[in-house]
Amino acid sequence: MAVDILSGIQRIGILKQTNWATPQAASANFQKMPYNRGVTKSNPDIQIDDFQWTSKNGIHHEYERSYTDAVSGLPSINFSGDGLLPILAPHFYASCHAVTEAATTPFKKVFTMGGLTGAIDFAGNSGILHTVATDSIVGSDGELLKNAILNEFTFSIDLNARGISKLPKISGVWVGNEMLTLQNLSGAWVALPTTGFFNGENAGDSIWSLETLTLGSDSINTALLRYFERSVKLNLAADRVGGVAVQYKIMPEITYKLRFAYNSTTYKAFSNYATGARVNFKIQNAVAPPEVKGGIDFTCPYGKLIANPCVYDGDYRAIELSFRAYSNAGATPDTVTLYDAVDWAY
């Protein structure tokens, strides 16, 4: 009798490509990602349409009048998981497409947004590409997603949560131009360390500090932060030849969300929302200033609130700042600085 396959044995791995023309092979040594089980599904992005010809028979869909496009889509693989320190860098890189990395530990990385002077030439290898692999039955059901970038990526942390819920969370969607199925993923996969992050491993690493938060002329950086989120959407489209995507076109949107208690200080956000005031923002965890392992900070000097900040948090009133990051004078809309003590050779 056949035995059911558990969701927990699914493997998902990624590996950076050297260029557009040479995705990683099924035999590559992929870096295994500790994503959450029961979440990741591959989507080949096929499209099935019906021709609207006259002389139709009856009221049902007719096979001979259907059309399947299995070529032109942008296949994808979604995921969610914990924002563990060793796996963060490739996700920020695959969604930002610009980075500088120090040569010595803790290998400080500064992620900025690509495309500041023009479009990113992905086919010409100006952007960062990965091959994403997944299987559950080794040698039988492998799938490869070629030329993948993170079309969506969110990093969040709930500072009121308990247990593993208080750890940073990540989620996103890898999107590529071709998906191969029935692959034998035969490489020696590399399991990255699943060490925690912001959970007391380093002194102060679970404490967040709002270094700067000004709305217009009002400062609310002393407010008690309850929730923090940064999201990137690349809004990926493609140029196609013979139906196959041969170049990506992106129009990134970076948004932040910060939730606070409702009081006379945080309420100032509402009047600033009404006037379209500038948001100037920087947040870091407590280990960031010494530039040691575990440090991370986010900086956005030019933002604008895009939603009414007055919200409800259960039975309580709250202030939630939802703002979009903007480029100013050709500069990056925001910057993420990470000290992960991992040499990714970027």
Determine the pLDDT at residue 197: 61
Contact (CB, 8 A) for 159 and 208? yes
In tens, the pLDDT along 150-162 reads 999 999 999 888 8
High-pLDDT (> 70) share of the chain, %: 95
First to last CA, the chain: 49
User: For residue 199, is pLDDT > 60?
Assistant: no
* CA–CA dist 32, 290 (Å, integer): 30
In tens, the pLDDT along 250-261 reads 999 999 999 999
What ranges in the chain are assigned the alpha helix state H? 88-96, 268-275
User: For residue 232, is pLDDT > 60?
Assistant: yes
High-pLDDT (> 90) share of the chain, %: 78
* CA–CA dist 7, 172 (Å, integer): 19
User: For residue 167, is pLDDT > 50?
Assistant: yes
| CB atoms inside a 10 Å sphere around CB 319 | 24
Quick one: average pLDDT of 201-220? 78
User: For residue 111, is pLDDT > 90?
Assistant: yes
In tens, the pLDDT along 23-76 reads 999 999 999 999 999 999 999 999 999 999 987 889 999 999 999 999 999 999
* CA–CA dist 11, 142 (Å, integer): 9
∠ CA 7-75-32, rounded to 5°: 45
**Which residue is listed with tokens 């970076």?**
254
